[in-house]
Structure 1
Amino acid sequence: MRESFDDENEDLGFSPVNKYEQMIADQSNAYFDVEEMEEIIEFYIEEEELDKALGACEFGLSQHPNEAGILILKSEIHLEKDQSKLALESLQKAIAHNPCNPETYSAIGGVYARLKSPREAIYYYEKSLDFYGKEEREEVLFDIAFEFQNLRQFGDALRYLKEILDNNPQNETAMFEIGLCYSEMDLADEAVTYFSKYLDEYPYSYIGWFNLANAYMKQGNYDMAIFAFDYSAIINEFFPAAYYGKANGFIQKGEYEKAIVVLNETFGLEQPHSFVYCTIGECYEKMNELDKALSFYEKAIEIDYGYPDAWIGLAVVYKMKKDYEKALKHINKATQYSANNIDTMSIKAEILEEMGSFEDALLIYKDILADYPEEEDTHYNLGSLLADMGHEEEAIDALEIGYEKTKSAEIFFKMTAIAFESNNTKLGMSLLAKGIDRHKQDIQKFYDFYPNFRDSKEIVALLTEELGENFDSKEN
């Protein structure tokens, strides 16, 4: 709109803004058409002179009563001034005088979106679609999809995003958001079908291949995911996300050396950042090349001193090296940048446990469970530590609570093993019978937790009867 004023007048210094300000200075009166008034108002909005913009709106409405464009701009100003009620009043007035203006309905939708009222926003956005032409619908369709995403109604969001893609198959934002919706809905199989079909028609869409790869990752089909990430990177060699995805595929397969090679390729695509260095450090950690792991974690910290994952990585490596003082120092540093993080707190507890500071470790496990009562690993660790401290009854009680919260076979069979280890055979046999009934497919966990089970004729008899195997003939 601002480009619409007469170029000749602008060259002579008579732009609508100059003309308006001269009128104000002279306390005179002048006529401005609608486009000129919109340009003046937009100028003041861009300059963040909201009071002047509001004054210009009032003047414009005095000459063009109920003009929708001016009322919409007025609503924008009220929104900037956190006056949402006044913004809605302006827009409702515009609708009353022009009920077929789609921009007014979409503007009301925008107000409700800003007020975090997604259902009301969707209502007005959808109302605007009744009046928009096909080519003008795309932005509003995005607005509706995003509001459905805010409501976590990803299936509804998908419908609108797919309409955008049907009309504009190369729309990259729609492609990304469709991939996100499928991921959030955990519909990996449907996503593979959808993106495979899309790529049949548009085989050079790097985002299509990227989304297909992510769907394969969700399926656990890492070979196909790596293949698809590779295609995405071949089509767009400057798309770092494809390289990160490919590296993650190798990591999931335990092929850490290949992951490191791919991650190193990203350094030529964009400025190195802490995430990449930290991921390489994790790969070296998994490969037990601890000094190299330390080196990359330290590089991550050089880039971002407050990056908690790097401090956690350093703590874990020093713990693996049994340098507990350094491990504790670095996990405390991680805590500064990631307070109440389960991973940070758990690792600190494990370090304290290995240092022999059992009571301190117990306090941390209990603190975690106070905030995250269904955290399975922490229930297991708490019970195991109590048992190691010789508090078998407390351990069993703690694991029983953990099982009630998680229904974890691992926790149940750990509790069963502790009962036998504490010579509470009656309780152990009762728990084992229940464990076989509830978690027969995970019975190996009991064998691992209590490898001396064959020394008990009662246990062997129960297992033989329930599982139909001759445990007397098995080697430990």
Structure 2
Amino acid sequence: MELNPNEDNNLPLTKFESMLKTNHVLFFDSGEFENIVHHYLSQGKVALAKKAIKLGLEQHPTSTNLKLFRVEVYIFEDKLNLADELLNELHELEPLNEEIYIQKASILSKLDNHSKAIKALKKALELTDDVADIYSLIGMEHLFLDEFEEAKYFFMKCLETDMHDYSALYNIMYCFDFLDQHKEAIEYLTTYLDSNPYCEVAWHQLGKQYFSVKDYKKALTAFDFAIISDDRFIGAYLEKGKVLEKLKNYKEALECYVLSLNLDDPTSFALLRIGFCHEKLGEKDLAVQYYKKTIHEDPLLDKGWIAITKFYTKQQNYQKALYYINKAINIDGDNVVYWKHYAKINHRLNFLEEAERGYKKALELGNYELDTWLLRADILLRLGEPNAAIQSLLQASEFYPENAEIEYRLSGLYYTTHENDKGQYHLKNALTHNHEYAFILEELFPKVVNKPQVKNLLKATS
């Protein structure tokens, strides 16, 4: 039981803290010590909890519950051997104490021995009348083992025992989502809501499931019921806004997002969506205003920086787009999407060295999309670096073997560097894979197309 400073039963806590200040040892019964320790642990005040356990055991050396609190602290401090030794001693004295098995399971879980942890928890299940928490703990152990069906079963058992354990409900939905069982999730939530028709959490989850299967009208109804059940449920307003956006009803979506701001501190997600809705409604000044609020609220949210960069790109205001993407890169230089935008904007501005740098960085960060390789190679060609372009495209061909766009470029580049045999080899490959892409040679390598050998190959396959 968590102690409340305003309650009479808080007198032992006040007395205990007074004792610590004066160093006068006072007597408490074991139950009072247990409440004091529980209070400190629930507040995260481990040092004070340890003092209370120590003094408690000095006054009540046979108290099993205080010793179990000591085990809990040992586990928290990763002193697993000490915890295990003490549990073994307690097991000898009280082999039917379910808390011993629960703490044993906690140790086994920390050691990644989740199967044995489940066995220990099932033993605790046999010994206790308070089964809800243990069902939940078993479910978590199955999650650690990626056993989602089993986890779902035990979370459901938990929810059957305590219909208001919403953490169990969230975990059930997590399992359904991971298993891609949206239809089954909808059926389960519908049944649950028959017994709990005003459960805003269940309506919210039902709306999300309908959203996943793109049944937006039913999703909207579910979110409306969530709001009826709790008109201050921010998550329901945000999700309703997302549905309305999908239905292209941007004015109503905007109202939902604005309402969410009135209920609590602004979230970067809501600010971003407000900006997007204003943009869709053609209200450009308001859109920019909210995009700026988004990046101010959460500078680490990449979607905010990308939104304002895309906005200015669409307006063909490339200088401002470049300004914002540079600021984004300064915050997170390992964001591959930032570098792709950086490259594209510089490309539009004809800043070829910077554009090439952007595409190269994107590749280094693992963006192996075909257009990244091709655009970088084309820029290297324009920069007069055909050998670097060849090396880049040879790397690309490892990811996209037998790709005509790569082969035509390699052919043109090898002919440009006077390696005619290699140029011929890649041109034959390119023509075999896709003759229609031959225009790539004409566009990028007009001099190469006029070579007799190339003309003959093109004619022979036309």
Segment drifting more, 67-76 vs 259-268: 259-268
Change over 3 Å in CA distance of 1:115–1:239 after alignment to 2: farther
TM-score of the aligned structures, taking structure 2 as reference length: 0.75
Cα deviations by residue, 1:284-306 (Å, 9 ceiling, x for unpaired)? 44566543321111222444455
Change over 3 Å in CA distance of 1:77–1:428 after alignment to 2: closer
Please show how residues 273-292 of structure 1 align to structure 2 within 5 Å: 273-286=267-280, 289-292=283-286
**1:56 — aligned with what?**
55
2:106 to 101, 106, 110: 110
Change over 3 Å in CA distance of 1:157–1:427 after alignment to 2: same
Cα deviations by residue, 1:257-283 (Å, 9 ceiling, x for unpaired)? 443233223233323222211122233
* DSSP 3-state at the match of 1:49: helix
* DSSP 3-state at the match of 1:204: coil
Corresponding position: 1:76 with 2:72: yes
**1:141 — aligned with what?**
135
Partner amino acid, structure 2, of 1:357: F
In 2, Cα distance between equivalents of 1:254 and 1:14: 58
Is 2:200–2:229's contact at 8 Å kept on the other side of the alignment?
Answer: yes
**2:253 — aligned with what?**
259
2:433 to 431, 434, 449: 431
Change over 3 Å in CA distance of 1:432–1:232 after alignment to 2: farther
Cα deviations by residue, 1:363-404 (Å, 9 ceiling, x for unpaired)? 4334333443xx46x332332442466568667645533436
Is 1:16–1:36's contact at 8 Å kept on the other side of the alignment?
Answer: no
Partner amino acid, structure 2, of 1:91: L
Please show how residues 118-267 of structure 1 align to structure 2 within 5 Å: 118-133=114-129, 136-267=130-261
* DSSP 3-state at the match of 1:192: helix
Is 1:217–1:249's contact at 8 Å kept on the other side of the alignment?
Answer: yes
In 2, Cα distance between equivalents of 1:265 and 1:279: 13
Segment drifting more, 264-273 vs 99-108: 264-273
In 2, Cα distance between equivalents of 1:10 and 1:268: 37
Corresponding position: 1:386 with 2:377: yes
In 2, Cα distance between equivalents of 1:196 and 1:2: 35
TM-score of the aligned structures, taking structure 1 as reference length: 0.73
Q: Give the count of matched residue pairs.
A: 425
Cα deviations by residue, 1:233-272 (Å, 9 ceiling, x for unpaired)? 2332221212211222233344444432332232333232
Corresponding position: 1:86 with 2:82: yes
Corresponding position: 1:351 with 2:345: yes
Alpha-carbon distance, 1:119 to partner: 4.2
Corresponding position: 1:317 with 2:314: no
Alpha-carbon distance, 1:90 to partner: 1.5
Is 2:268–2:294's contact at 8 Å kept on the other side of the alignment?
Answer: yes
**1:95 — aligned with what?**
91
Partner amino acid, structure 1, of 2:253: A
Please show how residues 4-15 of structure 1 align to structure 2 within 5 Å: none
Alpha-carbon distance, 1:129 to partner: 1.0
Partner amino acid, structure 2, of 1:230: D
Is 1:274–1:303's contact at 8 Å kept on the other side of the alignment?
Answer: yes
**1:473 — aligned with what?**
none
In 2, Cα distance between equivalents of 1:112 and 1:361: 53
Segment drifting more, 418-427 vs 315-324: 418-427
In 1, Cα distance between equivalents of 2:222 and 2:328: 36
In 1, Cα distance between equivalents of 2:9 and 2:134: 36
Cα deviations by residue, 1:331-385 (Å, 9 ceiling, x for unpaired)? 122234334223222222222222223343334334333443xx46x33233244
In 2, Cα distance between equivalents of 1:118 and 1:430: 55
Is 1:362–1:385's contact at 8 Å kept on the other side of the alignment?
Answer: yes
Cα deviations by residue, 1:425-452 (Å, 9 ceiling, x for unpaired)? 643442239xxxxxxxxx9xx9xx99x9
**1:296 — aligned with what?**
290
Partner amino acid, structure 2, of 1:93: E
Is 1:308–1:335's contact at 8 Å kept on the other side of the alignment?
Answer: no
Unaligned runs of 5+ in 1: 405-410, 434-442, 453-457, 463-476
Cα deviations by residue, 1:129-184 (Å, 9 ceiling, x for unpaired)? 12112xx1111222222333344332222111111222333432222222222122
